[in-house]
Amino acid sequence: NSGHCLDVENGSATPGANVRQWHCNGAAAQDWRLENAGRGYYRLVSRAGGRCLDVAEGSRAPGGNVRQWTCNGLQPQLWRLQRV
């Protein structure tokens, strides 16, 4: 836990906008809604643009970029939450 929040860079609503960890400030760019996608997976939908948290190009490589993208229900937008 870094103590930071998941943040859409510059509060952008544009598909492909970078998502990063940033100081928590209560902005819409840090407000995410969890949607149950079934089978233990969730979609994270940004209030800033109504777009889903997405692994760019479906990368499975360490350090792959995370962005917001138009929600499409594909694997790069499905997340499993684990208690730490």
What is the per-residue pLDDT across 8-64, written as a single tens digit (0 to 9) for each? 999 999 999 999 999 999 999 999 999 999 999 999 999 988 999 999 999 999 999
Output the CA torsion 16→8→21→45 (10° steps): -90
pLDDT band at 84 (very low <50, low <70, confident <90, very high): confident
Which pTM does this prediction carry?
0.91
Tokens (6 digits) for 45: 């939908």
pLDDT band at 71 (very low <50, low <70, confident <90, very high): very high
CA 77 to chain centre: 8
Which domains are delineated in the chain?
Answer: 5-77 (2.80.10.50)
State the amino acid at position 48 in one-letter form: A
